[in-house]
Structures are given as C-alpha cells and as structure tokens.
Amino acid sequence: ALEKILLRSAHTNTMGFNHHTCPARDYRTIPNAEMATSLLKEIVETHAIDEDGKEVLSLVDTSFLMDPVWDSAPDMSHYTGEAALVETKYILWKILSEG
C-alpha cells in the first residue's frame, strides 16, 4: 500500500537553443525551475497531512546539491556521473530516514 508521496525539487536546465526560439520550445529555465520548486513547497505545506493526521506528502529539495552544478549535464538536462550519484544518495537517505 502506498504510504507517502515523495516529491523532488525541479532541476534547472542550461539556457540552450530551445529557450531562445520564438515561441520557446523548452520552458525549464532557472526562474521557472525555482518557481516550480516554490510551488511544490507550498503544496507540501498545505497538503502533507491527511485527515487522520498522517504525513502523506513530502518534498525532497535537492536544490542545494544541484543548483551549483546546473550546467554540468552532458545533454544540458539529465545529470550523470558524480552529480547524479550524490543526488540519488541524498534522495535515498531521505526516503530511508523518513521511513
């Protein structure tokens, strides 16, 4: 049975060609990713606890890990290597520590 929904903060993408076309084909810019993460935080603050008082929604904010390396993804979107490994370990730690 599903115990809790875990949301992850939005990643930013580099300012590639798809951001500079008119109309833009990709809206995952730094300000939009920050806004999405802010909205996720608001959703969790508002809906984290169900009517029985049980926590059913949580946010793993990896911004402090991923924002400094926002331009390191080989395809400018999907992190690999050490950046991906560190984020994965942090997410797993959050899952296991929140039990």
Q: What tokens were used for 89?
A: 């370990």
Domain coverage including residue 64: 5-98
| pLDDT confidence of residue 22 | 80
Per-residue pLDDT band for 16 (boundaries 50, 70, 90) equals low
pLDDT of residue 85: 97
Q: How many structural domains compose the chain? A: 1
The residues, any chain, with a CB within 8 Å of residue 66's CB and separated by 6 or more, are: 9, 11, 12, 79, 83, 87
Query: For residue 16, what are the contacts with CB-CB under 8 A and spacing of at least 6?
Result: 26, 76
* Sign (positive or negative) of CA dihedral 36, 67, 94, 84: positive
Q: What's residue 23's pLDDT?
A: 80
Give the integer Cα–Cα distance in Å for 29 and 13.
Answer: 6
**CA 9/CA 99 separation, integer angstroms:** 19
Q: Write out pLDDT tens, residues 41-77.
A: 999 999 999 999 999 999 999 999 999 998 888 887 8
